[in-house]
A and B are shown apart, each in its own frame.
Chain A
Amino acid sequence: MTYKTTMLAALLAATALSGAQAADPIKIGVVTPLSGTYAGIGQQVRWGLDLATKEVNAAGGIMGRQVELIYEDEEANPSVAVQKADKLFQVNKVDFLTGTVNSGSTLAVGQVAERAGKLIATTVSFADSITTDKCSPNVFRVNARAGQQSAALAVWLSKDKPKANVFYLGPDYEMGRSTVAAFKSAAEKVGATSSGEVFAPLDSKDYTQYFGQLRSSRPQVLYTSVAGNDTVRLLTQLQEFGLLNNLTVVGASGTVTAQNLPAIGKAAEGFVTGVGYSAQIDTPENKKFVAAFQAANKADPDLYGADSYGLIYAYKAAVEKAGSTDTDKVRKALEDLKWQTPQGEKTLRAGDHQAIQTMYVVRVSGGKFMTVGQVSGDDAIGPDACSRF
């Protein structure tokens, strides 16, 4: 009896194996941080990719071929990411690659892809440069870039707080200065006035020393792009000094996150930001996605999980349109591709390989992110600034 079942199992396994061999799987490499500071983001990327791949495979794969994901840990370090991407292209012979989180890794791996003659897509990196001045014919971005986030926020600002007086507070390094500059120009375009700006060192203990300047410029809106624990200190100290009354705090999408929201507590109430995805989006497609994601991972999807999930469907649509996994054919199929994602239809702009999508404005209310508005993709995308292809 035992012998028989073992035989049967072996036989079944053998057929399953030969079935897979009949059509080679499509291999997608995933270079993502599975350890270190960004491990939480890498986790969401993995959950999203795994879920979409499971669904695609259950429905017959891409052109009858199963999809196989091969993971490598990049430790959020561009030089490690380059090694791992090289290995995936040369040794594992992957057809496509994704997963990079920090913008430096995405840019570096993009160059590896160019040399290997393969395509990559990021589902996380925000830096505008990836699809503007440092764009690459081999790199696509399916998530919203920083410029789209601040454009969406500025549009909301012009409606909700017309002609507001805005004060800017950013962390004093490249990201902080570029986010403040981007939002300032977007806000001034829609009629806001700027009353002052200050750049605090990263990991500032005490933001109270800037409160005098803040108070004397009497802003209605404070824009900030500090992140992590800096946000905890800034917002709770603002609350402590009674400055949150009559002040709307808006910020970058990484300023208040699920990671630091519990620590900020009540001081985060009313914080507004622009994002490309929110689990609260009220559409049947998104509800179905959130339910499936929760069932698989016992956690809510965030923007990284949702955008990674959507990427598998973009790649599926492109390969089926191209009828091949050949780099040039898939590139052509991805350009101007329209496809369905949990947050609605997205379009990959041919000119710069940036996804155009509806942007959402979310506000913290009762300790949760609630959607308070949306901005159409065309209003948020901005001009094509890529001149390389």
Chain B
Amino acid sequence: MSTAIEYFQFVLAPQMLIGLVLGVAVILVALGLTIIFGLLDVINMSHGEFYALGAFIALALGSIGLPFWLLVILVPLLMLPVGYIVERGLIQRVFHSSERHVTTLLLTFGLGLVMEDAFRLVFGPNPLKPETPIAGAIDVFGVFLPLYRLFLIVGGAVIVALVALVVYRTRLGAMVRAAAFDRDMAASLGVPVQHVYAGAFAFGVALAGLAGVLLAPIYSVFPTMGRDFILMAFTVVIVGGMGSIAGVVVAGLLLTQVQAISSLYISPVWSDPIVFGIMVIMLMVRPQGLFGRLGHG
């Protein structure tokens, strides 16, 4: 019995805690993705590059002396107009075609490629790394955890709660959900659907930027960083149910824990196949995901 407790304390618990940090990172990236999908029905392939854009903006502003805590607020605010313009200027142009899924997917995929090359031209191909804003570490029940990672877990939970609050408890959120559920009905009731769409896209992009700011000190900043979390984020969105905030949280935590714990027993190379295997099974037995779509019950 005591060996089981020791095993839990020294092997399993640290691994789960580390998995939790990764889970929060994935959830932060997937949150914006699922909102954009749930409302606009657009699969945003450039989401990873918006995540990178947030990190690069934070890096550039940080280098002229702005403090990290200001950037956490400032960068998402700067990303809002970027997202708004992209939605109105690019996505709306192909949105009303009958092959919306294909056209928007190709458009955002191309946009992602252009952005990635732009990062390379502006910032160079070499990795960059901002200083970790909170130094030091603490012992949580004998498990070593750097303070910044602890902050990420808490901060991530707060962000998810705030987003859920906005979407489910405010008038703005009600308009968003209404537009997602029935666009024409919402429009006829006076909801400015065009602006709600662009605003929701901007909100999703701002969340990606926020994730970029928060994760840069851990994962460093480089032009192809957008590819890092995007596969995992898509998987989380699919398993959780496209457009569901609760689904993102549950699936994000679940899948990263599976990854973390499985890598204790089998070669870590297998952790990706396991996660994508779960996604495939999910698509076969319950294609709508764990939870339903945004605005749909």
Contact in complex: B229, A205 (CB < 8 Å): yes
Q: Known contacts being A212-B14, A242-B137, A263-B129, is A201 close to B144, with CB within 8 Å?
A: no
Contact in complex: A229, B148 (CB < 8 Å): no
B269 contacts which of A199, A208, A209, A263 (Cβ < 8 Å)? A199
Interchain Cβ contacts within 8 Å, total number: 79
- Whether B194 sits at the interface, judged by CB under 8 Å, is no
Residues of B within 8 A of A210 (CB): 268
Q: How far is the CB of B128 from chain A (nearest CB, A)?
A: 5
- Whether A232 sits at the interface, judged by CB under 8 Å, is yes
A236 contacts which of B129, B229, B269 (Cβ < 8 Å)? B129
B146 contacts which of A216, A229, A241, A264 (Cβ < 8 Å)? A241
Residues of B within 8 A of A200 (CB): 268
Q: Known contacts being A201-B272, A233-B220, A236-B220, is A263 close to B128, with CB within 8 Å?
A: yes
Q: Known contacts being A199-B269, A241-B137, A241-B146, is A209 close to B260, with CB within 8 Å?
A: yes
Contact in complex: B269, A228 (CB < 8 Å): no
Contact in complex: A229, B222 (CB < 8 Å): yes
Chain A stretch 211-253: residues in CB contact (< 8 A) with chain B: 211-212, 216, 228-229, 232-233, 236-237, 240-242
Contact in complex: B268, A209 (CB < 8 Å): yes
Q: Known contacts being A201-B268, A237-B218, A240-B146, is A212 close to B15, with CB within 8 Å?
A: yes
Complex Cα spacing A79 to B216, Å? 37
A263 contacts which of B15, B18, B21, B127 (Cβ < 8 Å)? B127
Complex Cα spacing A199 to B10, Å? 22
Residues of A within 8 A of B229 (CB): 205
Contact in complex: B22, A205 (CB < 8 Å): yes
Contact in complex: B268, A205 (CB < 8 Å): no
- Whether B48 sits at the interface, judged by CB under 8 Å, is no
Chain B stretch 117-152: residues in CB contact (< 8 A) with chain A: 125-129, 132, 137, 144, 146, 148-149
A240 contacts which of B128, B148, B222 (Cβ < 8 Å)? B148
Contact in complex: B219, A208 (CB < 8 Å): no
- Whether B185 sits at the interface, judged by CB under 8 Å, is no
Chain B interface mostly helix, strand, loop or mixed?
helix
- Whether B11 sits at the interface, judged by CB under 8 Å, is yes
Contact in complex: A260, B126 (CB < 8 Å): yes
Q: How far is the CB of B108 from chain A (nearest CB, A)?
A: 22
- Whether B267 sits at the interface, judged by CB under 8 Å, is yes
Complex Cα spacing A236 to B129, Å? 9
- Whether A114 sits at the interface, judged by CB under 8 Å, is no
Contact in complex: A206, B18 (CB < 8 Å): yes
Q: How far is the CB of A241 from chain B (nearest CB, A)?
A: 6
Residues of A within 8 A of B219 (CB): 205-206, 233
Q: Known contacts being A209-B19, A240-B146, is A232 close to B263, with CB within 8 Å?
A: no
Q: Known contacts being A199-B267, A240-B148, A262-B126, is A209 close to B220, with CB within 8 Å?
A: no
B128 contacts which of A211, A212, A262 (Cβ < 8 Å)? A262
Chain B stretch 254-285: residues in CB contact (< 8 A) with chain A: 260, 263-264, 267-269, 272
Q: Known contacts being A205-B229, A229-B222, A233-B220, is A259 close to B269, with CB within 8 Å?
A: no
Q: How far is the CB of A293 from chain B (nearest CB, A)?
A: 21
Q: How far is the CB of B48 from chain A (nearest CB, A)?
A: 13
Chain A stretch 340-361: residues in CB contact (< 8 A) with chain B: none
- Whether B182 sits at the interface, judged by CB under 8 Å, is no
- Whether A64 sits at the interface, judged by CB under 8 Å, is no
Q: How far is the CB of A273 from chain B (nearest CB, A)?
A: 18
Complex Cα spacing A237 to B268, Å? 18
Residues of A within 8 A of B128 (CB): 262-263
Contact in complex: B126, A263 (CB < 8 Å): yes
Query: Looking across the interface, which residue of chain B has its beta carbon closest to that of A237?
Result: B218
Residues of A within 8 A of B15 (CB): 209, 212
Q: How far is the CB of A238 from chain B (nearest CB, A)?
A: 11
- Whether B228 sits at the interface, judged by CB under 8 Å, is yes
Contact in complex: B263, A172 (CB < 8 Å): no
Contact in complex: B137, A209 (CB < 8 Å): no
Complex Cα spacing A240 to B137, Å? 8
Q: Known contacts being A201-B268, A233-B219, A233-B220, is A265 close to B129, with CB within 8 Å?
A: yes
Q: How far is the CB of B116 from chain A (nearest CB, A)?
A: 14
B18 contacts which of A199, A208, A216 (Cβ < 8 Å)? A208
Query: Looking across the interface, which residue of chain B has its beta carbon closest to that of A259?
Result: B126
Contact in complex: A206, B22 (CB < 8 Å): yes
- Quick one: CB contact mask for A260-275 with B, threshold 8 Å, 1 for yes? 1011110000000000
Chain B stretch 189-244: residues in CB contact (< 8 A) with chain A: 218-220, 222, 228-229
Contact in complex: B127, A260 (CB < 8 Å): yes
Contact in complex: A172, B129 (CB < 8 Å): no
Residues of A within 8 A of B137 (CB): 240-242
Query: Looking across the interface, which residue of chain A has its beta carbon closest to that of B143?
Result: A212
Complex Cα spacing A216 to B9, Å? 13
Q: Known contacts being A206-B22, A209-B18, A264-B129, is A232 close to B268, with CB within 8 Å?
A: no
With A201-B269, A206-B18, A232-B220 already in contact, 8 other A-B pairs whose C-beta atoms are closer than 8 Å? A172-B267, A172-B268, A209-B18, A229-B127, A232-B127, A233-B220, A240-B137, A240-B149
10 A–B contacts from the bound complex (CB under 8 Å):
A199-B267, A200-B268, A201-B268, A205-B228, A205-B229, A206-B18, A209-B18, A216-B10, A242-B146, A260-B127
